[in-house]
Every structure is written in C-alpha cells, then in structure tokens.
Amino acid sequence: MAARAIGSGTISFGLVSIPFKLFTAASSQNISFNMLHKKCGGRMKQQYLCPVDNVVVERTEMVKGYEFAKDQYVHFTEEDLKKLDAAKSDALELVEFVPESTVDLVYMEKSYYIGPDKGGDKAYQLLAQSMKRSQKIAVGRYNTRGREQLVLIRPYHNGLIMHYVYYANEVRAFDEVGVGSVSAFKDIELDLADKLIEQLSSAEFKADKYKDEYQDRVKSAVEQKVAGKEITVAEEAPKAQIIDLFEALKRSLASGAAPPSAKDEAPESVKPVKKAAPRDTKKKSGTA
C-alpha cells in the first residue's frame, strides 16, 4: 500500500520552486502501559489540581505561563501565542548547500521522506541527482506549527529525505562530559584492539539484524497473562566485570566474543600472542 502523505509544500531555492509531499520516515514502537485502579481495574483519568485553592481545575480555566523568575510567571492567552507564530507558509526554503561530511549527527532530531507533488517530478529528480553528484546537502528553513524549523535535505536512494535538526543552543557542549585522562598505549595493545575491531567488523550496517528484545519480552508476557499463565523469562547472563585491558583483548580475540568475566578461567585454546612489530610512526605521519 502506498504511503500516506502527512503534509505538502514547496521547496524553493533561487528562482526554482518544487512542489513536494511529506511522509513519515520512522516512528517509535515503544511498548506503553495504561494506569489502572488496582481495586477494580478501571482506567485512570488525569486531573490537574491547584495546590493553592486545593481544587481540580478544568482546561477551560487554565492559561499558559512562563516562569521568568522563581515562582513568578507572565501569562499568555491563546491570542498572545498566535501573534508569536511564524507566518503561515508551506515553503521549504533552501538557504545554502554544504558538504555532507561537515554535518555532525548529534544535531539530527527527526526524519521525513520527501516525494514530488503533482508537476514536480522533473525538478525534484534534477535537484536530487545534482546534490548526489556534488556530494552536497541543503540547509533549509521549514515553517511548521507556528515555528521556523531548521532542516537538512539530502539525497536518499533515488529521491530526497529531510531531517529536522536541533539549533546550536539546544545541543550541549561535549566539553561538559568528562572523558578521563589521555592514556599512552603500547603498540601491542593498539594492535590487539585493531584486530578485535577487525574481527567484529561487517561490510555494512543492516538494521534488520537487530530487534527490540524488551518489546518481545513484554508481548510474550502479555500472551502468557491472557492465557492465565505465570510469566516466565530466560535468566540473564552474568554481567562481565572489568579486568585487565590487555588480558581482556587477548581473551576476546581467542573466543571471538565480548571480554569474559574476571571469574572465568582463561581458555586453554589461548595461544601466546606474538610480539607486534613496532609501528613506523614516521611513515604514517608522512615524514621522511
């Protein structure tokens, strides 16, 4: 069955306009639960309680407020908020083209497929093919729900895909994260790590190799409860403990698996690791 469009608009850059349709690219499939009354099993309803008057307040009696100082708010009516909305438009304005390699994935938020609307096939394909050939992606502005959304447009398969991206002030600096002290590693440690990565490497990422195991466990538990059975789950494997890094690398290479627990005995099949040849740092750095 053909995908159903969730929106439409016009891509514009320079004097070019391309009518497009927007399609959901991905959606979360998380398991959700409802809150029930333990006594009778009835589904609960959410209510808003005013702690000052100690009464339940209906939505029609609420206003939105922005906290500008501790416990101090300015009120906004629906009319006030409408005045702040961006001008209504279905335009997706492309403002610049940049190399895809310069975009950090941390800015990605949501993804949507873009398809051509009536009369836009030729211009749509020309844009997609030109961007693929030049290895560039577009930075654009898309007005949606009263807000100007920053977006990236890139070639995808034989068409285009749009990514909502965070503004710079919405992404925290990585400098805030502690990464520990920089360690100096021996050549043999670096070689073992390289070999382990190579041993676990695949030619490409295939999403269908992975599945949400928690979702499967919940669905299985639901089926068991509906059938009047007790929930049974497989026992969790013991978690691996941190052991000597060099020994962990050797065991991982020998077993072809993740580093074993410190309680495990070293496998008899572990062969002595040959001493790695010293790395020629001059050759890699390009010096004579």
Q: What does the pLDDT look like over 134-182, one tens digit per residue? A: 999 999 999 877 678 999 999 999 999 999 999 999 998 888 887 778 7
> Tokens at residue 218, please?
């919940």
In whole angstroms, what separates CA 28 from the centre of its chain? Answer: 11
Backbone angles phi, psi at 62, to 5 degrees: -105, 150
CA dist 152 and 140 (Å) reads 6
What SS3 class is residue 132? Answer: helix
Predicted confidence (pLDDT) at residue 242 exceeds the cutoff of 80: no
What SS3 class is residue 159? Answer: strand
Task: Of 65, 62, 60, 68, give the one whose Cα is nearest residue 76.
Answer: 65
What's the pLDDT at 218? Answer: 81
**Cβ contact 123:16 at 8 Å:** yes
Q: What is the pLDDT of residues 243-283, one digit of tens each?
A: 677 777 778 887 765 444 434 444 343 344 444 445 554 44
CA dist 39 and 11 (Å) reads 56
Predicted confidence (pLDDT) at residue 2 exceeds the cutoff of 90: no
Rg (CA), the chain: 28
CA quadruple 125, 131, 134, 140: dihedral sign: positive
What's the pLDDT at 3? Answer: 80
What's the pLDDT at 237? Answer: 66
What's the pLDDT at 143? Answer: 82
State the average pLDDT over residues 86-90.
71
Q: What is the pLDDT of residues 201-241, one digit of tens each?
A: 888 878 788 787 778 878 888 888 788 888 777 776 666 66
What's the pLDDT at 14? Answer: 78
16 pLDDT tier (thresholds 50, 70, 90): confident
Measured at the alpha carbon of residue 19, what is the angle toward residues 14 and 23, in degrees to the nearest 5?
120
Q: Averaging pLDDT over each range in 86-95, 119-128, 167-176, 224-233, which range is the top one?
A: 119-128
DSSP secondary structure code for residue 242 in this structure: P
CA dist 14 and 94 (Å) reads 9
Task: Of 114, 147, 118, give the one whose Cα is nearest residue 131.
Answer: 114
Cα distance from N-terminal residue to C-terminal residue, the chain: 62
**Cβ contact 143:88 at 8 Å:** yes
Give ranges for CATH 2.40.290.10 in the chain. Answer: 7-27+85-169
Q: What is the pLDDT of residues 33-84, one digit of tens each?
A: 888 988 998 999 888 999 999 999 998 899 999 998 998 999 888 888 888 8
Of the listed ranges 12-16, 101-105, 106-110, the one predicted with least confidence: 12-16
**Cβ contact 241:258 at 8 Å:** no
**Cβ contact 269:254 at 8 Å:** yes
DSSP secondary structure code for residue 115 in this structure: E
What's the pLDDT at 77? Answer: 86
Q: Indicate the CATH number for domain 7-27+85-169.
A: 2.40.290.10
Among left, alpha and beta (phi > 0; psi -120 to 50; other), residue 41 is left
